[in-house]
Chains A and B, each alone.
Chain A
Amino acid sequence: DGGITQSPKYLFRKEGQNVTLSCEQNLNHDAMYWYRQDPGQGLRLIYYSQIVNDFQKGDIAEGYSVSREKKESFPLTVTSAQKNPTAFYLCASSGTGGLAGNYEQYFGPGTRLTVT
């Protein structure tokens, strides 16, 4: 079964600790994305990567870091510099064919992070 997995589903951390969220896909997609969603809000782009070993900041990258060492994996680290890290984090992937890429994004089930 092709898809995107994120782990864990729920994560609790103390303030001041870095935490890494996992995202793996077996869809053979080139592009991967990390979004943050706050209650009652839309999705805001944190980072995206169009190919291995390359990634770009999204709209709210401060306090976050990523790596893309393998096509299948795009982990997100929430650092202690992120002022308000409690949120629902969603990973997505898409193909990149054509001028503007593949318009359909496939999402993982998300990780709900709570920092106290």
Chain B
Amino acid sequence: GQSLEQPSEVTAVEGAIVQINCTYQTSGFYGLSWYQQHDGGAPTFLSYNALDGLEETGRFSSFLSRSDSYGYLLLQELQMKDSASYFCAVMRSSASKIIFGSGTRLSIRP
């Protein structure tokens, strides 16, 4: 079957660094994406990894290890506006569709 696992909640302090992990089990794995969703809003794309290693985009970085079926999203210099839910999503080669995880709710304290 297919499954994605990520922590349901994470709390961090403003200005700190936080890592959100994602493990997956799926056939036809092609890549791992991350999306951010604020309460009541639509998900927005953050990053995509098809190859092993770290991809950096400003304060956000994403990592993938295909051999471990594992990835993470790293958020640095946390700001209050980063409080949101973060979803990892697996892209499969069998079709143009993405499987989303259940999301990690990130709460940031001053």
Contacts and interface: CB of A to CB of B under 8 A. Distances in A.
Are A and B part of the same complex? yes
A103 B91 contact: yes
Contacts, number: 64
Contacts of A45: 97-99
Interface stretch (B41-49, B66-74, B76-84): B41-49
Interface in B67-110: 87, 91-93, 95-103, 105
Query: Which secondary structure dominates chain B's binding surface?
Result: strand
Given A42-B103, A105-B98, A100 B91 contact: yes
Tier of interface size on chain A: 20 to 34
Contact of A103 (B44, B48, B100, B101): B48
B94 to A, nearest CB: 9
Given A41-B103, A50-B96, A104 B42 contact: no
A11 B77 CA distance: 39
Interface of B: 30-31, 33, 35, 41-45, 48, 50, 87, 91-93, 95-103, 105
